[in-house]
Structure 1
């Protein structure tokens, strides 16, 4: 797990705007999400992981255990279920809203590269985001 402790910075994306158009979020949130290009960091301490996203305005850290679902506040007052699964160099995160809709972010680490594959239950497409350490 050589990727642990490395900061991965956003480089590019494919089809992400189409993903945002497919999910049911307010227009102002969609505009913010389109500009969201965080640096990502994954750390491990025993059985617990810390996933940190860094943007100029703030740093947000989520602590989780692989395979254990938890409540995740995506926006003040809006909570959904989140489940991270760590399998070798792949970290998969599944969000599920109260209506049963889901979005999956599959992070594949390969050396100094990170590829995030984004899918959702409400869209047949696939989006990608690319990062480098």
Structure 2
């Protein structure tokens, strides 16, 4: 698990604008901000728990979780959500439940890339964000 502790920086995205619009974000300036911010992500392991940390100009977020156990989390724009993170090798699958609906985020880690695929109920697309180590 060489990716643990490594910092990944946002590089590019596919179909994320459409995902944001589906989630009710209609302001084009806000959508462009998501595309331009150089967020970073990092996954650390601490005993039986994991710590997933994101840093961006819009604020930082940190969630501590055990694989397969639901936790209180924070979604876009600070909306409270419930998440269950499941770690399987180099893949972390996050199942999200919130007042805005349910969805899944699959994070695939490699030595030099973090690929984050986002889906949500009621939307047929898949948004993908790429981060480079």
What do the CA deviations read for 1:95-116 (whole angstroms, capped 9, x no partner)? 11146x2121100112211111
SS state of the match for residue 64, structure 1? strand
Shift of 1:50: 0.4
Counterpart in the other structure of 2:113: 113
Cα RMSD of the aligned pairs, angstroms, is 2.2
Structure 2: gaps of 5 or more residues: none
Distance in 1 (alpha carbons) for counterparts of 2:129 and 2:55: 16
Q: Within 2, Cα distance between the matches of 1:69 and 1:28?
A: 33
Q: Residue 18 of structure 1 aligns to a residue in which SS? A: helix
How far residue 36 of structure 1 moved from its aligned partner, in angstroms, is 4.8
Residue of structure 2 in register with 1:8 after alignment: 8
Give the direction of change, closer, same or farther, for the CA distance of 1:96–1:19 in structure 2 (3 Å limit). same
The 1:123/1:29 distance shift into structure 2, 3 A limit, reads: farther
CA distance, structure 2, for counterparts of residue 70 and residue 48 of structure 1? 12
Shift of the alpha carbon at 1:54?
A: 1.1
Query: How many matched pairs?
Result: 131
Higher strand share: 1
In 2, the alpha carbon distance for the partners of 1:13 and 1:41 equals 18
TM-score (norm 2): 0.85
Instruction: Answer whether contact 1:84 1:93 (CA < 8 A) is retained.
Output: yes
The alpha-carbon distance between structure 1 residues 58 and 22, as it changes in their structure 2 partners (threshold 3 A), is closer
Residue-by-residue CA offset, 1:35-94 (whole Å, 9 max, x unaligned): 554100000011110000012454321111110001223355x42211111000001112
DSSP-derived class of the 2:52 partner:
strand
Normalised by the length of structure 1, the TM-score is 0.85
